[in-house]
Amino acid sequence: MAFINWNDSLKVNVDAIDIQHQKLVDIVNNLFDAMSEGKGNDVLNDVFNGLLNYTVEHFATEEKLMEQHNYPKAEFHKVEHSDLTRQAKELYEKFKSGQATISVPTLNFLRSWLNNHILSSDKQFGEFLNSVGVK
């Protein structure tokens, strides 16, 4: 059973962004699976590190589109990206140093942030991109 179920409500109707969102959901689901199966910290470390790296790549894609199309809410959206990146890096550093574990609250944070960000800011951004002909 997936920790986050990808469904049409999460689509922003921009193919490049939807594909990347789906991959982020898959990575969080893989992290959940590894934790649930009691996998070692090495596996959890690799999956969490992969999530961080892919998130940075995804945000860069969105921010490039914002610049290309003069998205009026770009600065606010970029602040959200910076906040999540900072919070996720802090969690990862705590995990690597042994100060924190990958736990259900950590995964709930990731799920909540992804869902909330996609369903609000990214949906608005998708609607804007659609209005300027980006699909």
User: What gap in Å lies between CA 77 and CA 66, rounded to an integer?
Assistant: 9
CATH for 8-131? 1.20.120.50
Handedness of CA 69, 65, 114, 78 (dihedral sign): negative
pLDDT in tens, 17-48: 999 999 999 988 888 888 888 886 777 788 78
User: What gap in Å lies between CA 120 and CA 127, rounded to an integer?
Assistant: 11
pLDDT in tens, 54-68: 989 999 999 999 999
User: What gap in Å lies between CA 106 and CA 88, rounded to an integer?
Assistant: 9
Long-range CB contacts (< 8 A, 24+ apart) of 55-60? 55/24, 55/84, 55/85, 55/88, 56/85, 57/20, 58/17, 58/20, 58/21, 58/23, 58/24, 59/85
Query: What average pLDDT score do residues 50-79 get?
Result: 94
Query: Model confidence at 15, in pLDDT bands (50, 70, 90)?
Result: very high
